[in-house]
Amino acid sequence: MEYVKLGNTGLDVSRLCLGCMGFGDASLGFHQWVLDEENSRPVIQKALELGINFFDTANVYAGGTSEEILGRALKDYANRDEIVIATKVFSRMHEGPNGSGLSRKAIMSEMDKSLKRLGTDYVDLYQIHRWDEHTPIEETMEALHDIVKAGKARYIGASVMSAWQFQKALYVAEKNGWTRFVSMQNHYNLIYREEEREMLPLCQAEQIGVIPFSPLASGRLTRDWDETTYRSETDQVQKAKYDATASTDRLVVERVAEIAEKHGVPRVQIALAWLLQRDPVTAPIIGATKISHLQNAVDAISITLTSDEIASLEEPYVPHPLYGSTLGFK
């Protein structure tokens, strides 16, 4: 495993991050394809054995049970000082007033609840899951700053927003001497490259670490076009993200297959190798739900694509509709 610094920080993170949206109690969350605790623990343990030290979850995943499962597994299998735990806040966690969003009240309350579920005194990276149009960004940034100063989070990050919104948050923090975002968790892969227009150049200029989610386009980049899985048949968020552009995306998927065959490796390794060679990507977030998913992903780190191969993968791409908060949670 390779380790790199997260953005302009001294924090060491593995080149791949294990996304934990796939772990939890399916009856409590949006997704029906998640693994229960018994089946989640071997995946988390294997990730640690392979050198992955970076784990990403959220308060909303499977009604908070993703955080619980991750916390118990890491307590049993890992050295807390070596691992990096990231979680997120924004989503609706209870009905009625103040059940969601990025108000000071919501952030302070949800931070404590996440820490309890994770079974830890602090998280390494606390991220806002979406932009809150109903709360002043000044209120949000000051609350996050106070979370850091209280020792409940080491760093803060953001996810899924426009570049102008992210720049506004960075400006507000700098203007007031508050803690600054160090990472951006955004939607980026071979069949969704809209982040290349503004967000990635901004992150590179501001030395922000990029930890993209859905690096394999919910598995579409890893299998034959007509092959389906339980997730692809039941995941409505995946359908919303990719179904509208399926005819053009298929061309990119076919290029991935061609280059994978040339290298004699699974397609997942080509899709990840492309991402790993993109600046300023730090650590793609892989949503592994099988041991084999992990090993294939880790093996991608050793693959270097030629400039001609990269050009071939990128050539069929066409602009896509923007993916945002209206399409649900990743």
Looking at residue 46, its amino acid is K
Closest Cα partner for 205 from 8, 20, 73? 8
**61 given a catalytic annotation:** yes
- Max CA pair span of the chain: 56
How far is CA 94 from each of CA 59, 106, 198, 228, rounded to the nearest angstrom?
11, 11, 34, 34
Residue from 3, 61, 77, 192 carrying the catalytic annotation? 61
| 214 Ramachandran zone, left/alpha/beta (phi>0; psi -120 to 50) | left
Are 180 and 168 in contact by the 8 Å Cβ rule? The answer is no
φ, ψ of residue 25 in degrees (nearest 5): -90, 110
Are 80 and 121 in contact by the 8 Å Cβ rule? The answer is no
| Residues forming a β-bridge with 3 | 14
> Residue 12 in 3-state DSSP?
strand
Catalytic residues: 61
